[in-house]
A and B are shown apart, each in its own frame.
Chain A
């Protein structure tokens, strides 16, 4: 039964690939984006000693394994000639480096399972990094509240990327543009100091978003 299902899946994928390789492209983009998110989350997990973030790293890592398997299958199925095989092996090498990054990130967060006496692990590790990782609390009267990340254009206006949002007791990892900012949210962000200082003023309701972006 299972075998039949897999054969059917493979056949379908095979047919799809004969006409278009959209899926490989989408998978590769997703793997690259995930590898960037996963390493940011791993560093943040270490810096802020967060088991929640570490768990998400492990979850993303297993997703990456599945994607790697998928992309490998698809590439093998679409190879016809030696030229195909050469080009596809390059493509697979890029995919597998994204997977390698996620493995490294998962290994990194295993540190959180270590002895209590070693805590905190590396609270200062990112203090001097070029793009630092910070947490930022959004005050209820901030002008960010009620608007979406894309609507505000946070990254384009400040150079700050939001890696994760904690809304009430729930985490949103790698939030999309539609994600709304709420009063009381905790943001984990990454970017240049200048942008962090600007965003902090708005999040803490010292200045309005309009003032900062003008």
Chain B
């Protein structure tokens, strides 16, 4: 049972990362980010299958258990949220010029997405996201990091940030000025 709940939680986290990445892809017309959404969608499909299988096994073992319905319905809803993220990524991958209103609209959202370069003098350079406490001190959540070695999507507290990295973040608009300070010194 715990395994199923773990899978559901993983699905939730993945679907939210997918949405953040999809909106970032849209805002910066970035196909790398959009392609990652497609990859992650496959991951949610796998999780979905695993939840279904476990639920069915359990239903066969404990005859008449209705618990499984809760898990299946939940997995189904989260899967649809992941699909919605895929639809957004698809707009970027279709290679049609994006409507100018899209970008304007995203910039006015409660949760804005920003792209910043980490300067060598930044206090973020050389620390992990956990050490710098960027999220709890500025309200900005890092969605993806692009470094010389490639992309890190959905970084965690152990992710190292280096000078020259480009970070994509999500958070309240009012935090942009604080973030600017953090990435510059």
Residues of A within 8 A of B (CB): 21, 24-26, 28-29, 32-33, 35-36, 39, 42-43, 46, 83, 86-88, 90-91, 93-94, 96-98, 100-101, 103-105, 107-108, 110-111, 114-115, 117-118, 121-122, 124-131, 150, 153, 155-161, 191-192, 194-195, 198
Contacts and interface: CB of A to CB of B under 8 A. Distances in A.
Contacts of A32: 23, 105-106, 109
A156 B134 CA distance: 10
Contact of B77 (A29, A86, A104, A155): A104
Contacts of A153: 174
Interface in B9-49: 9, 12-13, 16, 19, 23, 26
Contacts of B178: 156
A200 B133 CA distance: 17
Nearest to A196: B136
Interface residues of B, number: 56
A90 B92 CA distance: 9
Nearest to B14: A130
A90 B94 contact: yes
Which of A83, A115, A155 has most B Cβ within 10 Å? A155
Given A29-B108, A155-B139, A129 B171 contact: no
Nearest to A194: B136
A126 to B, nearest CB: 7
A194 B9 contact: no
A86 B96 contact: yes
Which of B6, B98, B135 has most A Cβ within 10 Å? B135
Contacts of A126: 9, 12
Interface string B42-84: 0000000000000000000000001101100110111011011
Contacts of B99: 87-88, 90-91
Contacts of B80: 100-101, 103-104, 107
Contacts of A131: 16, 141
B109 A155 contact: no
Interface of B: 5-6, 8-9, 12-13, 16, 19, 23, 26, 66-67, 69-70, 73-74, 76-78, 80-81, 83-85, 87-88, 90-91, 94, 96-99, 101-102, 104-106, 108-111, 133, 135-141, 156, 171-172, 174-175, 178
A94 B106 CA distance: 11
Which of B73, B77, B80, B90 has most A Cβ within 10 Å? B77
Main secondary structure of the interface of B (DSSP, over half): helix
Nearest to A89: B96
B77 A158 contact: no
Contacts of A36: 110-111
A6 B122 CA distance: 57
A94 B139 CA distance: 25
Top 10 nearest A-B pairs (CB, nearest first) are: A97-B84, A194-B136, A195-B136, A104-B80, A87-B99, A28-B105, A108-B77, A100-B84, A97-B87, A90-B91
